[in-house]
Structure 1
Amino acid sequence: MKVFVYGFREEERVYFEECAKQYGIAYATCSKRPTLENAHLACGYPCISILSTPCDAALIESFHRKGVRFISTRTIGYDHIDLAAAKKVGMGIGNANYAPESVADYTIMLILMTLRKMKLIMKSTELQDYSFESVQGRNLKGKIVGVIGCGNIGTTLIRHLAGFECDILAYNRHIKPELLPYAQFCDLATLLKKSDIITLHLPLHEETYHIINQERIAMMKDGVILINTARGALIDNEALIKGIEKGKIQGAAFDVVEGETGIYYQKQKGRVLPSREMLLLNSYPNVILSPHMAFLTDDSNRDMVYHSMESCLAFMEGEEDAMRIL
């Protein structure tokens, strides 16, 4: 079986080599994301593996003309792929799961950093300002944490948060009985009104696009903390900025931001970024941004590569695949 790998990173090499030996896979790589300009590299490869970069109709059609029949994204989310275009040409699509602890624990880190004003503390330390001015934080114990979305990551987060002696509210399509010892399930409006900290763990689709908007921010407690390690477009940036500037949102931390595509995962030093909203958010002393890297651990890297290769293998052999989207 042959697979062409886009967005290849050196830290993935050991896992691709393991898969090649274990499953008899011949693979080639390109460190760049797939584009119309480099799509020709996939000629002769029925399967390709990509990361979270836009894969629109034109690119999918180009790959299809070159003989690609299956696209596996080494990510849980697949909103960067035009599924309608893929379905139209008969292109198979799959995603990849990975250790939920990576994002769950990163989320807890962001919650604690925001509560304790770590961005301001670190910047003050760089300037040799060792005073206590403006850096008094808050404890997590006793706070009400609202978790929106209880998939693998949200479920793991709730279990890990339970040890901090905070009260947890959960919003999900369905109640998960295994979480009842740790969290109370409620409707979204109740969660927004009662939570001191709100963290997002939803996939991005039509129903969840801008699920956090001006109306829902207005429903939140004054001084709420908002965390997003899922997908940037779950939050309306304009409404978010207004909420921060008016003091409604006291602190925030985002591993993902709407408009990040084409900016994150590249060296941007000395460049004018094409997103005023990201620049504004990054300028606030009470907002932490990180470049969509909550997943980035050794365990997750291994899982992403293995699951992507196993998905390609299942497609080629006509086997059932839990990671299959189309």
Structure 2
Amino acid sequence: MKVAVFSAKSYDREHFDPTNQANQANHGGHELVYFEPHLTPQTAILCCGFEAVCCFVNDTLNSETIGILADCGVGLIAMRCAGFNNVDLEAAKAAGIRVARVPEYSPHAVAEHAVALILGLNRNLHRAYNRVRENDYALSGLLGFDLYGKTVGMAGSGKIGAVFARIMTGFGCQVIASDPHENPDLEGIVDYVENDQLFARSDIISLHCPLVPATHHLINAATIGQMKPGAMLINTSRGGLIDTPAVINALKSGQLGYLGLDVYEEEADLFFEDNSNMLLQDDVFARLLTFPNVIITGHQAFFTREALNAIAHITLNNISDYAAGRHNGVEWVA
């Protein structure tokens, strides 16, 4: 199949091309054409002549984009990520376009990054690093706390949450979780509670749930008010889980003591690009960067060799299964 790959970076090619070449040796390869821009209504016309598009988290797959894809003859949207909140599934169904995703690539990658944010924030590694580079070895302001014995709350307990829970249990933490669907693999490891109890009891709260209408702005002024003063909040899931202005107010008041983000609600025009020669136009994001108790990474939690290899393998298999009319093993979302 001829596939248009949008939001393509050098590391996408480095993992997709060898996997595709290996598949070609077994008569299962595809013609991959890479486009650096995001897929949007303005760039969708580039898809004419392609049978499938391969998209990522910040591509805009709204009804307008999907209408153009349908007019161009595209029959498959192959998401190379787990999330699909940026896809208008109803529009895709109406247009007869199938949507596939990668439900699991490396839960360890994301879970370990969440733990890295916790450790970095707690022990002020970002501040200590900058001090030492300035020949400043003073410890004042760098005081942390023992993770041992602390209560860690997870919003969401799927595959990533399960890995995260086991890691935090290894630190000697008590792990609690809120999730409408309890994970049987976590029996004896995690205690399930309602959201209000999760917020009230946790010293550290880590978000591992999908972005759906029920979880949009799960973290808001009201839920932050239920938290322990000085609690730590970590988000490696989706930016829309957090009402960012409410979080900024909580950081200013001290209600939130620490914030670690790998995602941001308005990240589409920021992340995955080198904007170092441009003025930052997002005033909300700029305000976040001023806090010494905030660490932000640019949606890199997934970014490990193992994860990228798995993403390439599963995505290309999804495309092959669609081309062959096979449905087994494909995570169809529309």
Q: CA–CA distance in 2 between the matches of 1:279 and 1:257?
A: 12
Question: Is 2:84 the counterpart of 1:78?
Answer: yes
SS in 2 for 1:274: coil
* 1:199 maps onto 2:206 in alignment: yes
The answer to whether the 8 Å contact 2:158/2:183 transfers is no
Contact 1:223 1:248 (C-alpha < 8 Å) held by counterparts: yes
8 Å Cα contact 1:51/1:74 also seen in 2 = yes
- In 2, distance between residues paired with 1:201 and 1:224? 17
For residues 157-193 of structure 1, the C-alpha deviation after alignment (integer angstroms, 9 at most, x for no partner) is 1122211111111111122222122211111111110
The partner residue of 2:34 within 25, 29, 37 is: 29
Aligned-partner residue type, residue 331 of structure 2 = M
Cα displacement (A) at 1:120: 2.0
Q: How does 1:155-234 map to 2 (within 5 A)?
A: 155-234=162-241
- Code of the residue aligned with 1:226 in structure 2: it is L
More deviation, 83-92/246-255: 83-92
Give me the whole-angstrom Cα distance separating, in 2, the residues matched to 1:271 and 1:6.
23
Give, in whole Å, the separation in 2 of the partners of 1:322 and 1:149. Answer: 23
Distance in 1, matches of 2:225 and 2:149, equals: 23
RMSD over aligned CA atoms reads 1.5
Match of 2:51 in 1: 46
**TM score, norm. by length of structure 2:** 0.93
The alpha carbon displacement at 1:281 in A equals: 0.8
Distance across 2 between alignment mates of 1:247 and 1:5: 44
2:53 counterpart SS class: strand
Deviations along 1:225-282, whole A, 9 cap, x unmatched? 0000001110111110111100011111000111111111111113232321111111
Q: Which runs of 5+ in 1 are unaligned?
A: none
1:325 to 322, 328, 333: 333
- TM-aligned CA distance change 1:269 to 1:236, over 3 Å: same
**TM-score (structure 1 length as normaliser):** 0.96
Runs of 4+ in 1 over 6 A off after TM superposition: none
- The one-letter amino acid of 2:11's match is E
Distance 1:276 1:123 in 2: 24
1:261 is paired with a residue whose SS is helix
Q: Distance in 2 between matches of 1:245 and 1:272?
A: 24
Q: Is 1:56 equivalent to 2:62 in the alignment?
A: yes
Match status 1:19 vs 2:20: yes
Equivalent residue for 1:138? 145
Aligned residue type for 1:70 = L
Where do 5+ consecutive residues of structure 2 fail to align? Answer: none
| Alpha-carbon distance between aligned partners in 2 of 1:90 and 1:234, rounded to the nearest angstrom | 30
Separation in 2, partners of 1:252, 1:35: 31
Q: Which residue of 2 aligns with 1:6?
A: 6
Matched residues in 1 for 2:105 and 2:273: separation?
23
Residues in 1 aligned to 2:108 and 2:314: alpha-carbon distance in whole angstroms: 17
Amino acid in the other structure paired with 1:228: N
Query: For residues 43 and 245 of structure 2, what CA distance do their matches in structure 1 show?
Result: 35
Secondary structure, counterpart of 1:292 in structure 2? coil
Q: Is the 8 A contact 2:321 2:330 kept in 1?
A: no
Mapped to 1, the partners of 2:77 and 2:136 lie a distance apart of 51
Q: CA deviation at 1:37?
A: 4.1
Match of 1:154 in 2: 161
The aligned amino acid for 1:86 is A
CA distances 1:89-122 after superposition (whole Å, capped 9, x unpaired)? 1221111131110000001111111111222222
For structure 1, which segment, 135-144 or 192-201, has the greater mean C-alpha deviation from structure 2 after superposition?
135-144
Return the alpha-carbon distance in structure 1 between the equivalents of residues 285 and 229 of structure 2. 23
Q: Aligned in 2, Cα 1:61/1:155: closer, same or farther, shift over 3 Å?
A: same
Within 1, Cα distance between the matches of 2:194 and 2:228? 16
